[in-house]
Structure 1
Amino acid sequence: MAVFDVDGTLIDSRSSIFRAAVEAAHAINISPPSYDDVRAIVGVSLFDALAMMRPDLDNETIAAYTHEFQQAFLRFHADPSFAESLYLGAEETLRALKAEGWLMGMATGNSRRGVTRTVEKHGWSDVFDTTFCADDGPSKPHPHMLQCNLEALGVDPHEAVMIGDATHDMRMARSAGVTAIGVSWGFHTVEELLAAGADQIVHDFTELKVWLDAFEPQALSEQKRARY
């Protein structure tokens, strides 16, 4: 089974997430964050992420910041010219893995509304067998949403890989006993991913596919595949 993060892994949302964080800060009259402030917390559920970024703010202010962040994204998506591109090779790799019989999961810090929007926009309803997000339980790096993916499809941890761009993804995978693959093109650096426990670093989707092809025979048995 292959479980994917979304922002920074499949979709290049670096600019839009930073823009939303800055606009939301201005909306509630607090100092705007730097890009490094924002990139450090991407992948964690939004309220927890903003609280992590701004520990000086009380819960009421964090709630307001969260609301304004969400409103910023609603405005972005209401603009017909708004676009967040897929990383080169993402679509082809997802489709190839699915065609080869991989079980496909999603573990993202997005809301359920965001997951639904993403799946519908990219036509991924036939690609992902399971999708779990920040609305489903504890935030990354807690292993909950990854464990939910495994349990939903009856997959053992040693049969799965978690692919993500953030240290939170790597720590979540290690906590769940799942192989952690870090991608170098997202929010966190290679050094940060390795320090967080990445088992492997890949630098593009071609390299990821080669690595997964080598892992596939032990990732999913024919007996288990036949059940789905």
Structure 2
Amino acid sequence: MSEKPFPTLVVFDCDGTLVDSQHNVVACMKTTFTAEGLALPDDQSIRGFIGLNLEECVFHLMPEPGDTDLHTRLVSGYKAAFFQHRLQSDHYEPLYPGALDAIHGLADRGVLMAVATGKSLRGLTAVIEQHSLQDYFMSLQTPDHNPGKPHPQMLLRAMSDAGATPAETVMVGDTSFDMMLAGNAGCRAIGVSWGYHADEELLKSGAERVIHHFEDLAAVTFDH
């Protein structure tokens, strides 16, 4: 069996992979639905669609997906709710344990890093600034200028920015959308178990491995 090339580029998802944002996302989604007088989606349903772009996430949670005016109001309402939430003194999206060490370790190996996320560019930039990660990610791919996951464009653009081939690229994420994104772009896919989709979903949707601690990422990524 031929060896896999060492990766030139590791691309991370954000929510559920690098940062634990579920409480903020769930709270803002419920605020948005309440403002429209709608029945609240349950927490598990909301978490299940984190990773998709906002428009798709809202579409799947709506009681009547065909109501385009309601869809527009919910998307706008969520953006406003999250912006207000981010201004609160207790707003925080913590890095998962071991994330910073894993990023530092990849940087020390000379591996390029990028982010491909369903989060808006404004939200992603806020997370990066909050955790002083500005020097680590050479490409930030969001739905602001790309189709949402699992369309491959975000990964293709990150690879273009890095000058990396699909065989030299690894996608790291917590949802089946991330794994399918990697498959559609021809890249390796590593799932993480601490996010929003079960291990079985990740493996079924294309993960070659699922790790349970960030400390395992380097060994799995460079394992031949």
TM-score clears 0.5: yes
What whole-Å deviation, never above 9, does each CA across 1:11-67 have from its counterpart, x for those lacking one? 011111111111110011111111121122111110122112326231211111111
1:26 aligns with 2:31: no
Shift in Å at residue 213 of structure 1? 3.5
Of the three residues 150, 153, 161, the one matched with 1:152 is 161
What whole-Å deviation, never above 9, does each CA across 1:184-223 have from its counterpart, x for those lacking one? 00011101111111111000101112212436xxxxxxxx
3-state SS of the aligned residue for 2:189? strand
Aligned-residue sequence identity (percent) comes to: 35
CA contact (8 A) 2:142 2:154 kept: yes
Of the three residues 185, 189, 193, the one matched with 2:194 is 185
Number of corresponding residues: 215
Partner of 1:17: 25
Give, in whole Å, the separation in 1 of the partners of 2:63 and 2:127: 30
Of the three residues 94, 103, 114, the one matched with 1:94 is 103
Partner of 1:195: 204
Shift in Å at residue 90 of structure 1? 0.4
Partner of 2:14: 6
**Root-mean-square deviation over aligned CA pairs:** 1.2
Of the three residues 42, 48, 51, the one matched with 2:56 is 48
User: Which structure dedicates a bigger proportion of its chain to helix?
Assistant: 1
Q: TM-score, normalised by structure 1?
A: 0.91
Give, in whole Å, the separation in 2 of the partners of 1:176 and 1:164: 14
What whole-Å deviation, never above 9, does each CA across 1:110-137 have from its counterpart, x for those lacking one? 1111122112111111000111001121
Residue type of the partner of 2:75? T
Moved over 4 A (4+): none
Q: Point out where structure 1 has 5 or more consecutive residues left out of the alignment.
A: 216-228
1:64–1:86 distance in 2 versus 1, CA, 3 Å: same
Of the three residues 119, 123, 126, the one matched with 1:114 is 123
Q: Which moved more, 1:135-144 or 1:111-120?
A: 111-120
3-state SS of the aligned residue for 2:210? strand
CA contact (8 A) 2:11 2:171 kept: yes
What whole-Å deviation, never above 9, does each CA across 1:158-190 have from its counterpart, x for those lacking one? 101000001100000001110010000001110
1:83 aligns with 2:128: no
Give, in whole Å, the separation in 1 of the partners of 2:98 and 2:104: 10
Q: Point out where structure 2 has 5 or more consecutive residues left out of the alignment.
A: 1-8
Partner of 1:123: 132
3-state SS of the aligned residue for 2:50? coil
Residue type of the partner of 2:42? S
CA contact (8 A) 2:93 2:127 kept: no
Of the three residues 163, 177, 182, the one matched with 1:168 is 177
Give, in whole Å, the separation in 2 of the partners of 1:213 and 1:74: 39
